[in-house]
Amino acid sequence: MIKSPRGTRDLLPPDTALWNFVEAAVRDVFRAYNFHEIRTPIFESTELFSRGVGEETDIVTKEMYTWLDHAGVHSDEFLQICELVVNPPPGNPYADVQKRASALLAASRMRGQSLTLRPENTAGVVRAYIEHKLWERGLNKLFYIGPQFRRERPQKGRYRQFYQIGAEIIGPAASGSQSPARDAELLELLATLLERVGIKDWTLELNSVGCPADRVKFNEALRQALAPAVEKMCADCQRRAVTNPLRIFDCKVPEDQPIIATLPTIGQFLDEDCHAHYAEVKNILNAVGVPYVENARLVRGLDYYTRTAFEFTHGALGAQNAILGGGRYDGLAESLGSPQAAPGIGFAIGEDRLVLSLAATADSVARKPDVYVAPLGVGMNREAARVARELRRHDPAADLVVELGDETFRLKKSFEAADKMGARYILIVGENEVAADAFALKHLASGEQVTVARGELARRILRK
């Protein structure tokens, strides 16, 4: 049997109803805050992520799905290589064939491009911002919903293909993209969004990771603090201590935690502007009544964050308790080649985890058929199809869910089918009904049955 690859899964009905419920609610919230959808490719140049996410991050060092995409081999060069093998030059000088084949292979490899399945979507959005000169539009408020890919160790709430719902506010400095008002707006949106899908007991953890100059001072302090202890730490941390000490806070190795707990925190190194920015984010959150706790060790696992960094956690999730994370990334656009500064802030919700945290069940949000149209007797499929079409297309449209049976079913089997799918009514379409242009409509729960004229059916079924 061929199974889905490790760390991936099929989302099946009725569970997909929960996913659709979440996505519909989320789209409503984004609309209310004037965000617009962006869809970027699922794969991008590898370089985008190594530069954007950061060479030293776990994502880039261990978790990306990367391949060399060399279309060239399949075109001219490939045919030439085949030709050489099939029709060797006179005298069959194998060494010569091999030499020419390997030269062609090398040439086409060089033309090949390293591509990566996106492990996150912020880098792709910023790439699109630069490519399409979105600064010309002023402040961009964008959201996305889609799959991301990381080769992590699979467990509950952690997958290799997972789904993120995210948003980015990005624009030239003059558009106000740097303002703490945007950070607070995004956090308040998230509080609203979680409430809207029925998640109440979340915790917002907040920190400021400062600007690059603060980071230089902080990394230096970390190096000094780590010097006496680093040899006792895991191999990853020993490497991080040299290349990017801040990333030591990503370490999950239990033995390293007591050492990490003694390290200085970034808050002591923030300059005046970063302090003021952070203070204003908190002021606005206090004013609008969004609660938060400060976590001085929260640095997030991606290199691009500046100033505000945050996570929302939820107890019901256990070890993988972060439903979402995000932060500000004021220098990212420039590091990806933007000709001008484009401060921004964004978040990504783990949709898989969001769905796991919902109190709602698939059954409570799945839409059941309003009516099961049951053809009764030979030749009645045609008549039932006509009735079903009228009901499905009636005006106002799309507020009736209509299921259509099959004339080979005896009445008992149609009733069983209607019952099993939770239909409210069953509508019998038999010869007598067609002749009278009026149909037997039975309410399955109460057993009450009425005869309804064709033109009245939709209205009658809609009456709850």
Asked if 352 interacts with ligand AMP (CB under 6 A), we say: yes
Q: Choose, by CB under 6 A, the member of 245, 267, 344, 350 that binds ligand AMP.
A: 350
Asked if 394 interacts with ligand AMP (CB under 6 A), we say: no
Contacts 24+ apart (CB under 8 A), 383-391: 383/429, 383/434, 384/429, 387/427, 387/429, 387/439, 387/454, 387/457, 390/454, 390/457, 390/458, 391/457, 391/458, 391/461
Whole-Å CA distances, 40 to 145, 381, 386: 10, 44, 42
Of 100-108, 260-268, 288-296, 347-355, the segment contacting ligand AMP by CB under 6 A is: 347-355
Asked if 26 interacts with ligand AMP (CB under 6 A), we say: no
Of 323 and 423, the one with the shorter C-beta distance to ligand AMP is: 323
Of 40 and 175, the one with the shorter C-beta distance to ligand AMP is: 40
Asked if 301 interacts with ligand AMP (CB under 6 A), we say: yes
Q: Mask: binding to ligand AMP, 362-381, rule CB under 6 A, as x and -? A: --------------------
Asked if 303 interacts with ligand AMP (CB under 6 A), we say: no
Q: Mask: binding to ligand AMP, 259-298, rule CB under 6 A, as x and -? A: ----------------------------------------
Q: Choose, by CB under 6 A, the member of 38, 206, 246, 348 that binds ligand AMP.
A: 348
Q: How far is Cα 405 from Cα 408, in angstroms, rounded to an integer? A: 9
Q: How far is Cα 245 from Cα 237, in angstroms, rounded to an integer? A: 8
Which pair of structure tokens corresponds to residue 268?
A: 């002591």
Of 40-48, 65-73, 182-190, 349-357, the segment contacting ligand AMP by CB under 6 A is: 349-357
Asked if 344 interacts with ligand AMP (CB under 6 A), we say: no
Q: Residue 148: what are its φ and ψ, rounded to 5°?
A: -130, 160
Q: Mask: binding to ligand AMP, 307-326, rule CB under 6 A, as x and -? A: ---------------xxxx-
The minimum distance between CB 164 and ligand AMP, in angstroms, equals 5
Residue 174 CB neighbour total at 10 angstroms: 12
Q: Is the dihedral of CA 292, 298, 300, 306 positive or negative?
A: positive
Asked if 247 interacts with ligand AMP (CB under 6 A), we say: no
Q: Mask: binding to ligand AMP, 133-172, rule CB under 6 A, as x and -? A: -----------------x-x----xxx--x-x--------
Residue showing tokens 């760390």: 7
Residues 63-122, interacting with ligand AMP (CB under 6 A) = 120
Of 149 and 425, the one with the shorter C-beta distance to ligand AMP is: 149
The minimum distance between CB 45 and ligand AMP, in angstroms, equals 19
Residue showing tokens 């204003």: 280
Of 155 and 364, the one with the shorter C-beta distance to ligand AMP is: 155
Q: How far is Cα 441 from Cα 192, in angstroms, rounded to an integer? A: 43
Task: Render 90-151 in DSSP notation, one character per residue.
Answer: TT--HHHHHHHHHHHHHHHHHH-EEEEE-S-SHHHHHHHHHHTTGGGGSSEEEEEEEEEE--
Strands 202-208, 293-294: pairing is parallel
Q: How far is Cα 220 from Cα 244, in angstroms, rounded to an integer? A: 10
The minimum distance between CB 186 and ligand AMP, in angstroms, equals 14
Residues near ligand AMP (CB under 6 A): 120, 150, 152, 157-159, 162, 164, 301, 322-325, 348, 350, 352-353
